[in-house]
Structure 1
Amino acid sequence: MRIAQLTYSTKPRGGVVHTLALAEALATRGHEVEVWTLGRGDDTAFFRPVDPRVRVRVVPFPSLDGEGVGQRIERSIELMAAALDADADIVHAQDCISANAALRRGIPVVRTIHHLDTFTTPQLVACHDRAVIEPVARLCVSRAVSREVEQAYGVRPEVIANGVDAERFGGASEPSAAGARERWRTQLGDYVLALGGIEPRKGSIDLLDAFALVRDAHPDVRLVFGGGETLFDYREYRERFEARAVELGIHPTVLGPVDDDALPALVAAARVLAFVSTKEGFGLAAMEALAASTPVVARDLPVIREVFGDAVLYASTPAEIAARLDEVLRGAAQTDTAGGVALARAHTWDRAARAHEEFYAHVPQRTAR
């Protein structure tokens, strides 16, 4: 089968990680796979090497000074649509930008809806809604999000859960990787880790408030934020975050994007992963942490309950988040490390690829042109 996977960025966001891992798993299973993406700024390749069996097509997307979010979204769609000439049986978009690009070219497209967003920018609202309504087939990575889509749009996507590279993250917790973990601990000391950058959806300010409640009991523990690449302009939220940190007297360490090779050790060396997003589609970063035997404190959301069951500690408010963090840092938390590892290892990309094969075979309108 000839399969084109579409994504909007070369950066290590969850949907991009999903795109590459799925493409590689499908190629391993003998399919002819190419990945289309936008190369923002000077990017000419993805954040990590890609299996050479997968053809990578990077569409140049030069930066423009003074461009607003809506203009950037529209230009993203236009440039990808103009370049897109995928000769494939299935064209599968992993986000609303790439889905809109395919639709603008008149290409029947499959869409994975990782989660629903609420936007106010008109271009984003239109992009988001069209990319749910108009694809010929839809997927979600959890039942909870599929139900949300059905309630909001009257269509119910099928569900294929994410995979996770459990072997890579699990290896970071092995004795052979002690040196890599120690390098992070030498740099950061003991730390609570949050991944995904500083964004409203990641609950970053809630985590600041929670950390303020536990720092006196754990004065040697640092709050660390890793990751953070996005199309959207979160400067206002970042300013509120920084003002709140000053008000609380907290000095978080903000690493920004972390090299892909260094990420597993960063996760494995953390005392706990704080995964307090207000909205998620699956929770890939939390699953990677479980694979690395790192405890997870997660926001109590239906999707997290569905995917993780009893493998994580749940909290909703900053006070509850603080209480769960304190339990982990004191060594008093009841966590099933072995069960978490087993859960992560059960979510393989090969299993996900097999499920996608079956799904593609029943797409009502094949996308070959």
Structure 2
Amino acid sequence: MRIALLSYSTKPRGGVVHTLALAEALAAAGQDVTVWTLGRGGDQAFFRRVDPAVRQRIVPFPDGPSEETVGERVLRSIATLRAAFDPAPYDITHAQDCISANAVDRCVRTVHHIDHFTTPELAACHERALTTPYAHVCVSRTVAAELADGWGLKAEVIPNGVAFERFSAAAEDGAGRAAWGSRIGRRYVLSVGGIEPRKGSLDLLEAYALLRERRPDVRLVIAGGETLFDYRDYRTRWEARAAELGVEPLILGAVPDDELPTLVAAADAFAFPSVKEGFGLAAMEALAARVPLVVRDLPVLREVFGDAARFAATPEALATELDHAFGAPDPARRAAGRALAARHTWAEAARRHLAFYRSLLA
């Protein structure tokens, strides 16, 4: 089967991680797979090495004028990918996000989560990316139900896989974990995803200040953060609030892919206070690395993580649960998390995608 997977970036965001891992698993299953994406800022390759069995088509996307708005950049992204992509050679065209779904006329679409935009261009892009595709995949039942309730669309539910071996092995890598411990200088709570509204970054900051009252030696470390959207105003508010609270989190930015597993494995707790998620891939990676996990109390995260995580609805509860995670060992919860992560394989995700593709072609 000739399959095109379309994404919007080469950067290490959750949807891009998903796209590459799925592409490699489909290729390992004997399929002819090409990944299409935009090379922003001069990028000519993805953030990590991709299996040579997967073809790559990275469409140049130069920076726009300094006054370009987010809406204008999104429309230019769609137009650039549309001009470059030819669907003719492919049996299946599978878009993984709003931008790539708008750039093609007929596609399967994975809806990772449902956003609610107020910018007119983004709202229109989001609506078209839901209603135009002829078939839909969701990574959780909760998002599939949201799609059905809001738009009357039926989606195939295929959960994410996780690079279990990479993150599990990092838990055994004493040298790698020691290197991060030495660099950070103290025990730490880790959050991956950057500083942005959807990630609940302000709530995490409030929780960290409360946690510091109980555990003054703990550091908050934030990794990741490359995104298409402009969150400078939110970041300014976050920095001002950190100064008011008298806390200084360590902001790492994007971490090299080969260093991320040991960064995760060396953490004493993983915080995942997102207000909107479809699955929680970074949190599942933390479970694979045997790190205690505290997540926001959302229906989708209850569905995905069950007894493997601690849940918190407020900054106060988040601080309390992080404190518990730093406290007495919880071997039953840790074992449940490791077993849960081990069950989510990309090979199984690829198998289910192929069955779905074949049903569509039939």
| TM-score of the superposed pair, with normalisation by structure 1 | 0.96
Partner of 1:232: 229
| AA aligned opposite 2:96 | Q
| Match runs of 1:1-369 below 5 Å | 1-64=1-64, 65-86=66-87, 87-103=89-105, 108-174=106-172, 177-188=173-184, 189-331=186-328, 336-363=333-360
Aligned with 2:191: secondary structure? Answer: strand
| CA distance in 1 between partners of 2:180 and 2:332 (Å) | 24
Decide whether the 8 Å contact of 1:312 with 1:335 is kept in 2. no
- Count of matched residue pairs: 359
- Cα distance in 1 between the residues matched to 2:108 and 2:284: 25
Q: What is the CA–CA distance in structure 2 between the aligned matches of 1:210 and 1:96, rounded to whole Å?
A: 32
Q: CA deviation at 1:332?
A: 6.0
Q: Which secondary structure state, in structure 2, belongs to the residue aligned with residue 173 of structure 1?
A: helix
Distance 1:233 1:335 in 2: 41
Residue 169 of structure 1: SS of its match in structure 2?
helix
For residue 58 of structure 2, give the secondary structure of its aligned residue in structure 1. strand
Give, as a single letter, the amino acid of the residue that structure 2 aligns with 1:133. T
Post-superposition offset of 1:336: 1.6
| 8 Å contact from structure 1 (residues 327, 333) kept in 2 | no
Letter in 2 for 1:80: L
Q: Which runs of 4+ in 1 moved over 3 A?
A: 332-335
Tell whether the 8 Å contact from 1:313 to 1:335 is kept in structure 2 after alignment. no
Provide closer, same or farther for how the CA distance between residues 8 and 331 of structure 1 changes in structure 2, counting only shifts above 3 A.
Answer: same
**Which letter maps to 2:270?**
L
| TM-score, normalization by structure 2 | 0.98
Q: Distance in 2 between matches of 1:19 and 1:318?
A: 32
Secondary structure in structure 2 of the residue aligned to 1:265: helix
**Structure 1 position 214, deviation (Å):** 1.3
Q: State, as a whole percentage, how many aligned pairs show the same letter.
A: 60
Deviations 1:207-240 (A, max 9, x none): 0101111102211110110000100000111011
Note the aligned Cα RMSD (angstroms): 1.1
Q: Is the 8 A contact 1:295 1:335 kept in 2?
A: no
1:17-47 CA distances to partner (integer Å, 9 max, x unpaired)? 0000000000000000000000001100000
CA distance in 2, matches of 1:282, 1:300: 13
Gap runs ≥5 in structure 1 = none
CA distance in 2, matches of 1:129, 1:208: 33
Q: Distance in 2 between matches of 1:183 and 1:153?
A: 49
- CA distance in structure 1 between the aligned counterparts of 2:111 and 2:329, rounded to whole angstroms: 38
Aligned AA (1:24): E
Q: Which runs of 5+ in 2 are unaligned?
A: none
Aligned 8 A contact 1:194 1:226 in 2:
yes
